[in-house]
Amino acid sequence: MRSPLTLHLLATPKDVSEVRRALRAYVGGPCADLQLCASELLGNVVRHLGEGLPVTVRVACEGDRTRLEVTDPDPRALPVLCRAAADDETGRGLALLDALTLRWGVEQGPGGKTVWCELGGIPAGSRAMGVGVIAG
């Protein structure tokens, strides 16, 4: 079993690409689905809650599953899966996440909420990393 990757950051648009790079380094190679899901979940925090909120991104690999979690301090703003019309410019992110993942959900707690998803395993070339902080 690999050590989980935990990143603490302030949510900003530039941090999305930093998280994508950290995930690729954690996996040790390409991980497009994992990166896309992380981009969507972190982007939702920035878009719907605002920039600069403290966020924790966590990835844990166990057996043939990879679990991605994004935790933010607002327990009230919950993600909603909706159907975007053909001419809508937004609203497809969670539908994409739903299509790419085995399952996803939201856990609410007194200090905020965690939006999580599970994907199939990541490549065998993964290497263990610990806790990181992305300056935001």
Q: Give the H or E element holding residue 50.
A: none
Domain ranges for the chain, please list them: 5-134
CATH T-level fold of 5-134: Heat Shock Protein 90 (3.30.565)
Pick the closest to residue 19 from 5, 29, 2, 4 (CA basis): 5
Expressed in percent and rounded to 5, the helix, strand and coil fractions of the chain are 30, 30, 40
pLDDT band at 127 (very low <50, low <70, confident <90, very high): very low
> pLDDT for 31-67, tens place per residue?
999 999 999 999 999 988 899 999 999 999 888 899 9
